[in-house]
Structure 1
Amino acid sequence: MDYANRKRPAKRTPPKKPNKKAARKPAVSWWVVLLAVALVAAFVWLLVSIAGKSEQAPAQTTPVEVPQAQPQPVAEPLPEKPEERWQYIEELENQEVIVDVPEREVGPPKLMQCGSFRNISDAEEMRAMIAMIGLEAQIRTTDGSNGVWHRVILGPYEGRRAAETDRHKLQRANIRGCQIWNWN
């Protein structure tokens, strides 16, 4: 589109004023108002008619004949309670339940590594933080192909559950990233 040779937009005309005849018409017609007044009057009449009925006694009291109760024949007495055929309640009270629980297989002992550092001072700092929680950590130095590493480990643990318990203690103290491995 060529903006340089573009024509100017046409002038806008002001909006037209409303017609005087339209302004004379009421917003609500007379029959809507009449209908609303009739509904309100009917509702008031209904409330007034209901309100008096619950408090007033009946205006006319006419004697009503009550039929005489006829003597009922004497019923036979109830039969005796039958004897229970099931005696499992007494039998179960005196029984002992024996459950065969298989022993859990104990896997290899576990260790938990909470950090691996290049500097021994960083490893000592992590070990001190763990000691403040109440757990005992060790520092193992390993020399690998990519240099010397100082690992902070906890354990050995008999099973994974004991290691998880200590890991949750560490997480509550904001020490995260500890991993549980098999003991080497």
Structure 2
Amino acid sequence: MDYANRKRPAPRKPAKKTKKAAARPAVSWWVVLLAIVLVTGFVWLLVTISGQSKKVAVESPPAVETPAVQPQQQPALPEKPEERWQYIEELENQEVIVDVPEREVGPPKLMQCGSFRNRADAEELRAMIAMLGLESQVRTTEGSNGVWHRVILGPYEGRRAAEADRHKLQRGKINGCQIWNWNL
């Protein structure tokens, strides 16, 4: 459709007003009368309130005059004594001795990240761990239920170091690593 060459719509003709609507006033006379009464009442209220505040001030009893009395001399206050705090000097000369127990060093911590039947699967996980910058080992163990290839990291001196490496592995999307107290 071509809007540029389209014909303009014909202008609308205004509706004709009837004589009844034009003859009737927009506001009825009783609304005007009510507004005048309300404004007059409000003005009268304001005038009466303002006049009462002046009457109250005028009606207050006159002040009683007291005979002039010579002011007595107040006794001189003693000088403020110098405060001397002893605890400041006592604290400066004190030494606090705290007994901190030595942390017990337990067995070394090892972190196991997987246990596989196939050595190829264990080597694949070891390669993924190496890509994250950590060194791991694959240990083969034989038990009553067959041969297992475990992927382990460590040994760590404390749990905090093992937790730090586990967080690195979790950021690299390797989950499920567990920290154990294992002896080598």
Please indicate the TM-score interval, normalised by the length of the shorter structure. Answer: 0.5 to 0.7
Q: Distance in 1 between matches of 2:180 and 2:174?
A: 17
What SS does the aligned partner of 1:141 have? strand
Q: Do structure 1's residue 58 and structure 2's residue 56 form an aligned pair?
A: no
Unaligned runs of 5+ in 2: 1-40
Counterpart in 2 of 1:181?
180
Matched residue pairs, number?
136
| Offset at residue 72 of structure 1 (A) | 6.4
Give SS of 1:139's match: strand
Please identify the structure whose Cα radius of gyration is greater. 2
* 1:30-41 correspondence runs (5 A): none
Q: Distance in 1 between matches of 2:64 and 2:153?
A: 94
SS in 2 for 1:122: helix
1:112 is aligned to 2:107:
no
Provide the rounded CA distance (Å) in 2 between the counterparts of 1:131 and 1:66: 102
**Equivalent residue, structure 2, for 1:134:** 133
Helix, strand or coil for the counterpart of 2:151? strand
Q: Per-residue deviation at 1:181?
A: 1.5
- Stretches of structure 1 that go unaligned for 5 or more consecutive residues are 1-44
Classify 1:120/1:87 alpha carbon distance in 2 versus 1 (closer, same or farther; 3 Å): same
TM-score with structure 1 length normalisation?
Answer: 0.57
What's the counterpart of residue 9 of structure 1?
A: none
Runs of 4+ in 1 over 4 A off after TM superposition: 66-73
Residues 10-55 of structure 1, C-alpha deviations (whole Å, 9 max, x = no match): xxxxxxxxxxxxxxxxxxxxxxxxxxxxxxxxxxx9xx969x96x9
Q: What's the offset of the Cα at 1:118? A: 1.4
CA distance in 1, matches of 2:120, 2:72: 103
Identity of matched residues, %: 69
Displacement after TM superposition at 1:176 (Å): 2.0
- C-alpha root-mean-square deviation of aligned residues, in Å? 3.6
Distance 2:90 2:179 in 1: 50
- Written as runs of structure 1 = structure 2, the 5 A alignment for 1:67-82 is 71=71, 73-81=73-81
